[in-house]
Amino acid sequence: MFGRAEWFRLARNGRIRPGTWRGRCYMAAWGAAIVVPAIVLATLGRLPETLIWLLIMACVWRRDFRPIRAAHARTTDLFVIDETTDITLARRGKGHPPGLERVASKPA
């Protein structure tokens, strides 16, 4: 909703971690919005309302972080080479690593 993908990074285990101070503040605000009302409800002896609050907030948290996670989604490209494939990379400066101007594979 209000969080930006630039504020977060994707950890090795696939979880979203704050990458900047804004990301840390955003997650701290979310944590306070979830925990403080839950503690108040629990101290008043309202256990069913506490559980309902935590369930609803978990759904809202997931919906809020879905676009952030999608922005950090890892994509993998699959490139298959067989006997008839001729591989020609574009000239240098067209987005390919330096030193790979042309690579060709021809069947023997």
pLDDT at 35 (0 to 100): 93
pLDDT at 90 (0 to 100): 43
Query: How is residue 39 written in tokens?
Result: 């503690």
Rounded distance between C-alpha atoms, residue 86 and residue 103, angstroms = 9
Mean pLDDT of the chain: 77
Give pLDDT tens digits for 37-60: 999 999 999 999 999 999 999 999
pTM: 0.59
Rounded distance between C-alpha atoms, residue 86 and residue 75, angstroms = 25
Rounded distance between C-alpha atoms, residue 16 and residue 8, angstroms = 6
Q: How sure is the predictor about 88, in pLDDT bands with cuts at 50, 70 and 90?
A: low
**76 pLDDT higher than 60:** no
Rounded distance between C-alpha atoms, residue 41 and residue 51, angstroms = 9
Q: Under 8 Å CB-to-CB from 63, ≥6 apart: which residues?
A: none
